[in-house]
Structure 1
Amino acid sequence: MLGFLNLDKPAGLTSHDCVAQVRRLLQMKRVGHGGTLDPAATGVLPIALGKATRLLQFLQTKKAYQASIRLGITTTTDDLEGDIISSQPVSDLSLEQVTTALKQFQGKIEQIPPRYSAIQVQGKRLYDLARAGEDVEIPVRSVEIFHIEILDWRPGDFPEIDVAIACGTGTYIRAIARDLGIVLQTGGTLAKLIRTHSSGFEIADSLTFEQLEAQIQQGSFQPIPPTQALQHLPAVTLPFAIAQKWCQGQKIACDITSLPSNSPLRIYQEGGDFLGIGYLTMINTQTKLVPQIVL
């Protein structure tokens, strides 16, 4: 089996748990995920099946979320899964104040990931260091927030705002909730998170574990073809004889000038068979098509 699964991850499972469950359901060993989701979060978790695990690195990087942020509270994990550090009613906080503060989080921003996250520092996961009580300096990351839209506002002692966020890879929505609370001087934490889009996959097309299991039992499950998941990449089609040489690892001389150099390309054999990923580069003044991933 070769392809992708658009999984609707349930709350309470880690991304690794989901991979293990897919392995069991499909009775296959080679399974991987693209883009970790926190256990409490739900929504789109791209899963690669078989040799498609080698293609995870070429998926689109844009992601989108729907998040609920609770203000007036800070926690150890920057979401409601952690212990409460501070709690102070902020019933006088207005939607206008929050709207103005949110503008600071659009575009390219610097972000410090949560202390409880899977990022490695000194060869260890941050969440392992945090649980051990070790205080380490967390490296700042540059991330990009393409768009933030306010969906709902619920005033009260601990008001909540629902937002839709489109962002690039590596963005922590928990950190946005925390930092919004810092800007407002109220404290803030993530109350709920749904990933609605990831790596080209939409939540409307995702499958729950129950739906996946039903399709497997009915014999109707079909993985998403790599060509569909990678359609954002430019494509090159090779004649049969040339394609065979490329599949054997040979660098193919070509005169393609309309495509970028050193960027991933989908490679096909005439007739439509998908062969893998290659890239164009200059070798001894000649443009050549180099194999990168041969399936």
Structure 2
Amino acid sequence: MNAPRTRVQRRPVHGVLLLDKPLGFSSNDALQKAKWLLRAEKAGHTGTLDPLATGVLPLCFGAATKFSQLQLEAVKTYEAIAYLGVTTTTGDAEGDVLARCAITPEMLTPERLAAVQQQFTGAIRQVPPMYSALKKDGKALYEYARAGVEVERAAREVEIHALRLVLSSDAQGHPVIRMVVTCSKGTYIRTLGEDIGAALGCGAHLTFLRRTDTGGLGVERCVTLADFEAMNEAQRLACLLPPEALLADHLHVTLGSEDAGRFLSGVRRRGAWPNHPAVAVFGHSPHTLLGVGHTVAGELVPDRLLSPIEIQQILESRTLAAPAASILETL
């Protein structure tokens, strides 16, 4: 007879885990594993990363999930390798081969590479790949693709802020393009690799993809899932960044206890603030995140707020439970 499964006792956990997602894991696989290891009640990720991609995947827990949408909008940087002369059904090494093309020296001259690099820098249009999570009539495109159905997709504009292409070769001496891409949300690097291969005249597919930065959160700050699993509970909790780690590009405003309490109740506050669309609002004593808002015509307008209990739990996790009353008693 099988032994009964031990039920995990969930608890409130608030913060951001910068995970270096391993190869072969979906974003949700990685999220559920980290959530289980932390015994967290509430968790969410900040946008999917392909199973065949590795790199920065910010995972949000508790109060931090309220700001996860901000990372979806963030500028991202990737490193990728495009294998030249072969196209596949998926745009990467997982797909079936569609076509092979002989590569001539004229296709890969420095001048040609520089021209293609310039062609794909700035605002470009992409047709989303069939093997993607975009939905058509409530169904993901990859579901249609697996059933052998091609769905018409409209081209979308994305922004390539910076692009570097370097001609290289793999371990077998086959020509590849090493790419470093900084881009807007919604950019498909697999599609970019395919389009660059088409522009060179030989076709291409990705054999490597790694996200190295999202919204200023770099891979050098990440922990691997294997290392995270090997830690004890206290070490895992120490890996979490505070929820405001997602708000680095926000204007920071600090309120006194009376104004903080009113702000948490959803009441606008007046002050000598410049107009700003994104404001991170903190209480003064103790210094803790209250939520986000925007300022207009000297008013601070609440947009997304932490709850009093979330603030209390965050303060308790910092062993600062006693001073929490200075904010919470004003509610």
| TM-score, L = length of structure 2 | 0.82
Compute the displacement of 1:220 (Å): 5.4
Q: Deviations over 1:223-263 (max 9, x none)?
A: 111223312100111121111011012222x1434232xx1
Corresponding residue of 1:182: 198
Which runs of structure 2 are paired with 1:1-295 in the superposition (5 Å)? Answer: 1-59=13-71, 61-92=74-105, 93-96=107-110, 97-154=112-169, 158-217=174-233, 219=235, 221-222=237-238, 223-252=240-269, 254-260=270-276, 263-271=277-285, 272-281=287-296, 287-295=298-306
Question: Which range moves more in the overlay, 151-160 or 141-150?
Answer: 151-160
Q: Deviations over 1:84-138 (max 9, x none)?
A: 1011231534242233222211001111111101111222211111112222111
Task: Count matched residues.
Answer: 288
3-state SS in 2 of match to 1:138: coil
Aligned-residue CA RMSD in angstroms?
A: 1.9
Structure 1 residues not aligned, in runs of 5+: none
Compute the displacement of 1:276 (Å): 0.7
Compute the displacement of 1:78 (Å): 0.6
Contact 1:200 1:229 in 2 (8 A): no
3-state SS in 1 of match to 2:30: helix
Compute the displacement of 1:152 (Å): 4.9
Amino acid at match of 1:189: H
Where relative contact order (Cα < 8 A, 6+ residues apart) is larger, the structure is 1
Considering fraction of residues, name the structure with more helix: 2
Distance of 2:95 and 2:192 partners within structure 1: 16
Give the ranges of 4+ consecutive aligned residues of structure 1 lying more than 4 Å apart after TM superposition.
Answer: 155-158
Distance of 2:185 and 2:242 partners within structure 1: 23
Q: Which structure's CA Rg is the greater one?
A: 2
Question: Which range moves more in the overlay, 121-130 or 148-157?
Answer: 148-157
Corresponding residue of 2:325: none
Structure 2 residues not aligned, in runs of 5+: 1-12, 307-331
Contact 1:46 1:199 in 2 (8 A): no
Distance of 2:56 and 2:189 partners within structure 1: 15
3-state SS in 2 of match to 1:70: strand
Percent pairwise identity: 35
3-state SS in 1 of match to 2:237: coil
Distance of 2:289 and 2:174 partners within structure 1: 53
